[in-house]
Chains A and B, each alone.
Chain A
Amino acid sequence: MEKLINEFSIGLFFWQSVLFVLLLLLLRKFAWKPILNAVNSREEGIKNALAEADRARQEMQNITADNEKVLKEARAERDAMLKEAREIKENVISEAKEEAKIQANKMIEQAKVAIQSEKLAAMTELKSQVAELSINIAEKVVKEQLSDKDKQLQLIDNLLADVKLN
C-alpha cells in the first residue's frame, strides 16, 4: 500500500483527469452522438424497411386473394348464368311444345267441326236431290199409271187397302 501511495503521482493524475475529461466531452459531441445516432437511425431504417417489405408482401397476398375471389365469383356467376339460360331454353322449348300441341288440337277440333258440318250439308243436299229425283220418278210413274182408268182404280184400291190395313 505504501508502495502504491509512493507511486501515485499527482501530476500524472491531474493530466490524466484533464485530458480524459476533455476527450470525453469532445468525443461525446463530435463522435459518439453522431455515430450512435447514425447507427440507431440506420437500424431503425432497416427495421422499417423490413416491416415495409412485410406489409407489401401481405398486401400482395391480399391482392392475390382478392383476385382469386373475384375470379371465383365471376366463374360462379357465369355458371349461374349458363344454368339460367339452360333453364330458360328448356322453358321456352316446353312452352312452345305445349302451345303447338294446343294449337294442333284446336286445329284438329276445328277440322272435325268443319268436316261434320260439310258432311251434314252434303247429306241434306243429297237428301233433297234424292227427294226431288224420287218425286220426279214418282211423277213420271204416276203419269204413266194414271193414263188409263183401270190403273187409277187399282191404285185407289191399293191405297185404300193400305189404309184399311193400318
Chain B
Amino acid sequence: MREKFLLKLVVLLFIISATPSYAQHTEHDDASTELSTKEAEKLERKEYIRHHLLDSYDFTLFSYTQEDGTKKHVGFHLPIILWDNGLQVFSSSKFNHGETVAENNGNYYKLYHNKIYKTDAEGTITYDENHHPTNAKPLDFSFTKGVFMILLTCILMYFLFTSLAKSYAKNGSIAKGAGRFFEPIIVYIRDNIAIPNIGEKKYMKYMPYLLTVFFFVWFLNLFGLTPLGVNVTGNIAVTVALALLTFLITNFTGTKDYWRHIFDPLGDSMPWYGKAPIYIILVPIEILGVFIKPFSLLIRLYANMQAGHIVLMSLIGLMFLFKSWLGSPMSFMLAFAISGIELLVALLQAYIFTMLSALYFGFAAEEHDHHEEAATH
C-alpha cells in the first residue's frame, strides 16, 4: 500500500519535471518569435495583475479582443469628477480606457498609468529624466470603481443592519433571517473584543465604530475575492482613511491618564531629576508610538490584502501560462486552496483591525485607580 503510494509520487514528480522541459524543447525548435510572444504574454499578465490591484475609472467586468483586433470591454463607465479651475464632471467613457484624450469644457485630460493628467488636444505628455510625467495633475475626486464598491458596501450594510434592528422590534428581541447569522458576531465583538479591551464602563461609546469597521473591512475583503476584481481594502488610501479614524477617535477620547502615560510614563515612582534623563528618550518614543500604532494598522491591512491578491492572481495566471494538462490543474488546485485561505484572511484581517482599534481605545479610555498609590503615601 505504502510502496504503491510512493511509486505514484515518484511518477507524478517525474511528469511535473518533464512537462516544462518538453515545452521548452518545442520552443527552442520554433523561431525566436514565439519566445518573444511568450515574454510579451508574461508582461501582459504582469501588467494585468498590476492594473487589477489599482483603482480604475470604469467598472469593467471583463474584456476581450474582438475579431477586428480592437479590445472590447464589458462593464459600465463611472463619472469623473475633477477640480481644475472649477468643477469638471464628465463620464469616463471619454477616455475609452485610456486610449483617447478626454475633452471637457475646453480642457483636455489624458489617462497615463491610471492617473489623470492635464494635456492638450493631441494628448502630449512630457517627461522628466526619471520618466515621470511633468504634466499638471488636476485634483481628482472621481467616482471610481473603488468608491463605487464602497458605496455599494455602505448601502448593503445599512439595509442589512437596519433590517436586523427592525426585526428585533418586531419579533420581541429575537433576530430573524440573516440577523441570526450576524447577531452572534455582534455579540462576539462586544464580549470578546470591546469589553475585555475597553472595559465594562466605556465600551458602549466605541461599539458603533468597532462594529462598523469590522463589517466594512470584512465585506470589502470578501468582495475583493469575487470575480468583480475590486481591491478596495488593499488600497492605501482606504486603509489610511480607516486608520486615521481610529487615530482620531483614540486621541480625542483620550483621558487624562492616557496623556499622562505618554508625557509622564513613570509617574510618581521617581523624583524629577531621576526622570529627566530617561524622559529625553522615553517621551519621544511614546509620542512616536501614538502615530506608529495606527500606521501599523493601515500598513498591515493594505499589505495583507495586496499580497493576497497578487498571489491569487499569479496562481490564476499560471494556469494559462503552463498550458499543460498537468500544470494547469495543479495551479488550479493551488489557487483554489489559496482562495480558501484568503477567505480566512479576509475575516482575520477585519478581526485584527477591530481588535487592535479596540486595544488602542482601551489605552485611551483607561483610568487608573489612584487608591493604591494614595495608600502607599
Contact = CB atoms under 8 A, between A and B. Distances in A.
A60 to B, nearest CB: 28
A12 B144 contact: yes
Contacts of A38: 165, 168-169, 173
B175 to A, nearest CB: 8
A13 B238 CA distance: 6
B240 A8 contact: yes
B236 A4 contact: yes
A7 B235 contact: yes
Given A10-B140, A33-B208, A15 B150 contact: yes
B162 interface: yes
Nearest to A31: B161
A39 B190 CA distance: 11
A7 B140 contact: no
Given A11-B142, A12-B147, A35 B164 contact: yes
B48 interface: no
Interface string A13-55: 1111101111110111011111110110110010000000000
A126 to B, nearest CB: 122
Contacts of B81: 11
Given A11-B144, A12-B146, A19 B162 contact: no
Interface SS majority for chain B: helix
A9 interface: yes
B237 A12 contact: yes
B245 interface: yes
B212 interface: yes
Interface residues of B, number: 45
Nearest to A12: B237
Interface residues of A, number: 33
A19 B150 contact: yes
Interface string B241-254: 11011000000000
Which one of B54, B190, B216, B237 has the greatest number of beta carbons of chain A within 10 Å?
A: B237
Given A8-B237, A20-B216, A24-B209, A35 B54 contact: no
B165 A23 contact: no
Given A4-B236, A11-B144, A23-B216, A16 B165 contact: no
Interface in B168-218: 168-169, 173-174, 183, 186-187, 190, 204, 207-209, 211-212, 216
Interface stretch (B1-9, B38-46, B151-159): B151-159
Contacts, number: 127
B141 interface: yes
Contacts of A31: 158, 161-162, 164-165
B12 interface: no
Contacts of A22: 154
Contacts of B55: 9, 12
A7 B207 contact: no
B161 A35 contact: yes
Q: Select the residue from A19, A21, A33, A45 with max chain B CB neighbours within 10 A.
A: A19
Given A8-B236, A16-B238, A20-B242, A27 B147 contact: no
Given A9-B140, A39-B186, A16 B204 contact: no
A36 B241 contact: no
Interface centre among A31, A34, A42 (most CB of B within 10 A): A31
Contacts of A11: 81, 139-142, 144, 147
Nearest to A35: B165
B143 interface: yes
B297 to A, nearest CB: 14
Contact of B211 (A13, A17, A32, A34): A32
Contacts of B147: 11-12, 15-16, 19
A1 to B, nearest CB: 11
Contact of B150 (A9, A20, A41): A20
Given A10-B139, A32-B212, A17 B241 contact: yes
A9 B237 contact: yes
30 contacts: A4-B236, A9-B144, A11-B141, A11-B144, A12-B146, A12-B237, A12-B238, A13-B238, A15-B143, A15-B146, A15-B147, A16-B146, A16-B150, A19-B151, A20-B150, A20-B242, A23-B157, A23-B212, A24-B209, A27-B158, A30-B158, A30-B161, A30-B165, A31-B158, A31-B164, A38-B165, A38-B169, A39-B173, A39-B186, A41-B173
Given A12-B237, A34-B169, A35-B168, 7 more contacts: A12-B147, A13-B240, A14-B141, A15-B146, A32-B208, A36-B207, A41-B173
Interface of A: 4, 7-17, 19-24, 26-28, 30-36, 38-39, 41-42, 45
